[in-house]
Amino acid sequence: MSVTSQDRDISSVGYARHIGSAVLYIEPDGDWLVGQFGQKVSEYHKVKYSNITSINDDTFEFTALSVEAKNGGYKLYLQSNADANVFVEVDVDAAGNVVNADVLTQAELYAAEVSSGADLNGNGGLGDSDILVASATEDGTFSVYLDEAGVYQIKAANGNFIPLSFAGAPVTLALLDGSFEIEAVLADAQKGGYRLFLSDNDDNVFEIDLSNAGVVDPASIDLLSADAVSRLEEETKTDLNDKSDTPVTSGWTTTLNSAEIRSAVERFTQSNSKIDHAELVNIVDVAIQSLRGATKVGKEVFSDLKAIASRGQSLFTAKDLNGTETGYLTYVFDKLVNGSKANTFYHGGTTTAQNLGNLNSDSTVDALQKLSNKWLLGKDLPNPTTQGDTANPNARAATGSYKAFNFELMSGSFSAFDVNQGSAGTCYLLAAMALIAQDNPNAFKSIFVSNGVGTNTLSTWGVRFLDKSGESHWVTANNELVVLSQDAADAAYTKAKGVDAQGNQSRELWAPVLEKAYAQANEIDIFHRTKSQNNMAAIEGGLAEPIVYLIGGKVTTFATEVINYNGVPALNTSLVPQGSTALAELTKSINAGKSLWLSSDNETKSGESTLFTGGHAFFVYDADLTRNDNTTVKVYNPWGFKQATAEDPSPIHLAPFDADLVNLVGVNGYDFWIMV
């Protein structure tokens, strides 16, 4: 599964909906299949009941959510389409036959979430744990949590929880619908009750009054001006807009509670120096060491970390490969300290998620270490499971472990031929990466910040992605890649190999690190995918949208009518201009130096070597730079550079190979996308 429609449930190809200890696979017609690791899709079993030989989400009006391997068969977990609070556990034998079904109690549902590592009820956590959403001012007196049912609640100074309500109904995760994020809650000294601050997807900040009982006053909802936000941030010492722009004033470090943290900050900022990555890691380490013997972070250290984060723009330095200052450290330290939806879970390279949550004064010291691992050290490695590249008929669900590869990020320059797909179904992403490397290789210099080698001997990089509005989002990725065995010479997914400036084979990491970082950034929920999880399987399948998330702009395809690709803003359709044709427009693009992103549903060969294959992405570039009207092109397969040689006259595939747009454009099964 490399190329799919963005609306996965009506996709023309099958896909894995859940991969845990077993695989829940959805066929193109929606039927459920269950399978084990190491099996091909053709070896999976359809779920059957009595004389009903295939079941989908509509058969009994229950949607299949996840599956576990149990007792030689499977445990399948379903949610009612009619009542989202009803969940069913189904026993399925090894051949896919339903043998028993039970409605789960809440306690059983929570236990199933923990055992399967799947958030079945969508409340943002596993089991019955409360999930920290936002803390208060620097002293951390108040916090906002999500309870096990997905209801927002304030944890007051006395430790009591106060559920939030609006118009007589609870304020839930579903009610905010991903459009708003709670940033902070403060006590309202004048009116009593609380002041709640939220931000929307366009960075607007709203203030809302709550009663002592947590009831929203709808008349109080106020959109704050930029000046009002700045004034309130200074007044409350709270970063309400996530911009970390509190000014650094003379003597500000005297407000830090911990002498050890204060000493470290002053040492690194003397003579107006700025704090780099290694120094910021050291500051967090000092904070953790200062808590020796404690179990919780506490108000003083939490306050100090928030004070540092709020001044990130003035305090931190992080330059990309062009030598240009970025907001990388400001961004990741803000998420470490002030919270992010990506903090809900921690994988650490395992197949099972565990609850983590945002930082506050009641957080454990271990949680602070894990948040540092996640945002500064790249150690929250994605769940390594994949369904596999289903463009390959031998695709199998796979998992593995991580291994460090001590190669350079890039040797010579970024090249399209550095992109060599492994067994993950990410060809859509890799075709986008290769296209950018062909047309504008220097664009990658703005994507990476090199942190060097840390004290743990792992190399790390800041990796930047863009959202639909062109805003930057950063993750930290290290040089650990998935392998199927620890003695493997290369990664299981995108390979750590490329070409240097002279065209010689070299070992380099930019392509596999960028693929892994894409999975990490998926958890921030900026890619508009079906599942926003830090999971390699969750980034399998897509179209040309990664071009936009990597370098900005938009991509478009020519069509006879406007198509909505499941609301993904990066994907657009263009009607062919009057008097022109799609072939003419694409030919102009090729001859203007633009490469094309291409998906294929067709199979073609040259002798025994594969050229086009179904459900797969390629990129296409001009084959004759001496002409400005030719339609001849080269087609590159992300499976990697491969040409016929005397030793191997019929390789498995050819890349690049020759083609002509005349024979491709307008032909059923070929779809082209261009950058605009």
Predicted confidence band at 237 (pLDDT cuts at 50, 70, 90)?
low
Task: Say if CB 349 and CB 381 are below 8 A apart.
Answer: yes
CA distance 675 to 670: 17
Question: Which contacts qualify for 518-523: CB closer than 8 Å, 24 or more apart?
Answer: 518/426, 518/429, 518/465, 518/546, 518/549, 519/382, 520/378, 520/380, 520/382, 520/463, 520/475, 520/477, 521/463, 521/465, 521/473, 521/475, 523/341, 523/342, 523/345
* In the chain, domain spans: 8-116, 122-243, 249-384, 401-537, 555-675
pLDDT tens per residue, range 276-291:
999 999 999 999 999 9
What share of the chain has pLDDT > 70, as a percent?
95
Among 19-23, 312-316, 465-469, 631-635, the range scoring the smallest mean pLDDT is 19-23
Q: What token pair was written down for 299?
A: 């108000």
Residue 490 has pLDDT above 60, yes or no: yes
Residue 13 has pLDDT above 70, yes or no: no
pLDDT of residue 610: 95
SS3 670: strand
pLDDT of residue 128: 83
pLDDT of residue 414: 94
What share of the chain has pLDDT > 90, as a percent?
64
pLDDT tens per residue, range 254-284:
989 999 999 999 999 998 899 999 999 999 9
Predicted confidence band at 652 (pLDDT cuts at 50, 70, 90)?
very high
Q: What token pair was written down for 507?
A: 């070992």
pLDDT of residue 566: 67
- Which one has a higher pLDDT value, 531 or 11? 531
> Which H or E element spans position 337?
helix 328-338
Mean confidence (pLDDT) of the chain: 90
- Residues 6 or more apart whose CB falls under 8 angstroms from that of 146 comprise 123, 124, 125, 130, 131, 133, 152, 153, 173
Q: What token pair was written down for 392?
A: 């390959």
Residue 1 has pLDDT above 50, yes or no: no
Q: What token pair was written down for 496?
A: 């750590």
Predicted confidence band at 3 (pLDDT cuts at 50, 70, 90)?
low
pLDDT tens per residue, range 307-360:
999 899 999 999 999 999 999 999 999 999 988 889 989 999 998 888 898 998
pLDDT tens per residue, range 33-65:
999 887 888 899 999 999 999 999 999 999 999
pLDDT tens per residue, range 207-229:
999 999 999 999 999 999 988 98
pLDDT tens per residue, range 554-599:
899 988 777 777 678 888 888 888 899 999 999 999 999 999 999 9
- Which one has a higher pLDDT value, 506 or 593? 593
Residue 136 has pLDDT above 60, yes or no: no
Predicted confidence band at 246 (pLDDT cuts at 50, 70, 90)?
confident
Q: What is the mean pLDDT of the segment spanning 157-184?
A: 85
pLDDT of residue 138: 47
Q: In what order do the strands lie in the sheet with 194-200?
A: 180-187, 194-200, 205-210, 222-223
Residue 135 has pLDDT above 70, yes or no: no
- Which one has a higher pLDDT value, 176 or 382? 382
pLDDT tens per residue, range 85-115:
899 999 999 999 999 999 999 999 999 888 8
Could you tell me which of 122, 25, 10, 127 has the C-alpha nearest to residue 76?
25
Residue 10 has pLDDT above 50, yes or no: no
Task: Say if CB 613 and CB 1 are below 8 A apart.
Answer: no
Angle at 289 between CA 382 and CA 343, to 5 degrees: 30
Residue 635 has pLDDT above 60, yes or no: yes
How many residues are there in the chain?
676
Q: What is the mean pLDDT of the segment spanning 292-304?
A: 91
Residue 383 has pLDDT above 50, yes or no: yes
Residue 139 has pLDDT above 90, yes or no: no
Burial class of residue 335, CB neighbours in 10 A (0-12, 13-18, 19+): buried
